[in-house]
């Protein structure tokens, strides 16, 4: 991990991984099953992401580790030769809570595929990720919802924070493939008080940092207010070591990632770009547009001038996409999804260039006035002001 330029909290860096180098800040497109939904392999190569995210839980269900071992990992199985980061499966504790039972041993799931009971322990999570052959493995953490009451649910929050550290040690002991790097995850709910749960989690991770390739900030994007969100992110970035990449899990809305880069985050992932793209919502430098609306039915402009995605570079009009979306043609959702991923990849590339020239404040102000217009969210104003922007 090499920092190329840093100004206060914001930085541009390079992370060296087995399949290529990643230049940060970076957005990681989410390919739950090893590919981006509704986007072909050749289109992925056009987009040229240097790292993608896949889901350990779902890859373990299908195709399973036997198949992945037969192909010597996800890269050969999928035919995608870029870096992969795999999450541990811990997030499914919250998203599939009615199907899970959490104990000290691990997380027992009822499979949504065949209803079989599956035990995902820290050791099993690492073994599965080693079968996947991901370049970055995430440790298994005990995830609690941000919506828990900090007083009424204090015992559960404390248990999850301390268990996450115990599971971190078990993941470290299970990690045998040194070609794969491993990231720890900061938990601790929304507690950023002195000697609080977030501080305890960070302290435990810092004690083990020499055995880790990076550190993630977890437990957010789960129901907290935006004011709580940015304060937890800033708190963690301020206390995390400067010599490790910082990954903010599950965050990928354009305003959020631009703001959090300024707070000190390096890496992001989120399904929002492709999930909304499939239904016709497109990102532009002037904000989001819903291409299914009647106002675009005669609009001969591309989604966004200057964009390198297949739709924009190919001259496909908003009117044509509007027509395809209304007819439920799947190609329309694919094209808009591609555009949104391209938008986020290039947004981070351009922000990196601004950081290298120490022009990040100007970049952010220009982005804000384009994306938000005259109605910039107060939380973003407060967050940026906290780092002098």
Q: How far apart are CA 361 and CA 241, in angstroms?
A: 24
For residue 248, what are the CA distances in angstroms to 44, 333, 342?
Answer: 23, 27, 19
87 noted as active-site residue: yes
Q: How far apart are CA 191 and CA 200, in angstroms?
A: 10
Q: How far apart are CA 145 and CA 163, in angstroms?
A: 15
Strands (E), the chain: 2-7, 10-16, 21-24, 26-28, 51-55, 83-87, 100-102, 107-110, 117-120, 136-138, 181-186, 214-217, 246-248, 267-269, 281-284, 287-290
The one catalytic residue in 238, 256, 269, 346 is 269
Take residue 371 and report the two structure tokens written for it: 């994306």
The one catalytic residue in 66, 87, 141, 256 is 87
Sheet containing strand 246-248, strands side by side = 26-28, 267-269, 246-248, 214-217, 181-186, 136-138, 83-87, 51-55
User: Which pairs with CB-CB distance under 8 Å and at least 24 residues apart come from 356-361?
Assistant: 356/4, 356/5, 356/12, 358/5, 358/7, 360/7, 360/10, 360/261, 360/262, 360/389, 361/388, 361/389
Residue 184 neighbours by CB distance under 10 Å: 29
Would you report the helix, strand and coil content of the chain in percent, each value rounded to 5?
45, 20, 40
Q: How far apart are CA 201 and CA 214, in angstroms?
A: 14
Which residues carry out catalysis? 87, 269
């Amino acid at each position: 991990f090499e920092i190329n330029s840093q100004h206060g909290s914001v930085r541009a860096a390079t992370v060296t991984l087995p399949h290529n180098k990643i230049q940060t800040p970076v957005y990681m497109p989410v390919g739950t099953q090893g590919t981006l939904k509704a986007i072909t392999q050749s289109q992925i190569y056009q987009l040229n992401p240097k790292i993608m995210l896949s889901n350990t839980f779902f890859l373990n269900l299908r195709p399973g580790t036997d198949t992945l071992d037969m192909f010597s990992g996800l890269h050969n199985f999928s035919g995608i030769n870029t870096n992969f980061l795999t999450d541990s499966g811990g997030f499914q504790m919250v998203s599939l809570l009615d199907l899970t039972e959490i104990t000290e041993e691990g997380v027992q799931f009822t499979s949504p595929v065949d209803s079989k009971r599956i035990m995902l322990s820290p050791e099993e999570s690492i073994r599965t990720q080693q079968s996947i052959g991901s370049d970055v493995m995430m440790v298994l953490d005990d995830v609690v919802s941000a919506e828990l009451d900090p007083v009424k649910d204090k015992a559960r929050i404390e248990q999850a924070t301390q268990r996450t550290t115990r599971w971190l040690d078990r993941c470290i002991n299970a990690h045998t493939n040194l070609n794969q790097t491993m990231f720890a995850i900061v938990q601790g709910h929304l507690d950023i008080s002195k000697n609080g749960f977030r501080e305890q989690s960070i302290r435990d991770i810092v004690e083990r940092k020499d055995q880790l390739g990076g550190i993630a900030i977890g437990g957010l994007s789960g129901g907290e207010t935006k004011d709580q969100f940015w304060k937890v992110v800033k708190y963690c970035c301020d206390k995390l070591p400067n010599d490790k990449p910082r990954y903010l899990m599950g965050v990928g809305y354009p305003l959020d990632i631009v703001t959090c880069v300024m707070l000190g985050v390096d890496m992001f992932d989120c399904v929002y770009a492709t999930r909304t793209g499939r239904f016709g919502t497109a990102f532009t430098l002037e904000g989001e547009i819903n291409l299914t609306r009647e106002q675009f039915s005669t609009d001969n402009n591309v989604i966004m001038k200057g964009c390198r995605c297949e739709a924009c570079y190919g001259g496909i009009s908003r009117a044509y996409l509007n027509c395809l979306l209304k007819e439920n043609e799947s190609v329309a959702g694919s094209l808009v999804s591609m555009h949104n991923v391209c938008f986020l990849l290039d947004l981070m590339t351009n922000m990196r260039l601004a950081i290298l020239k120490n022009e990040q404040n100007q970049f952010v102000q220009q982005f804000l006035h384009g994306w938000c217009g005259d109605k910039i969210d107060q939380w973003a104003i407060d967050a940026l002001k906290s780092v002098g922007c």
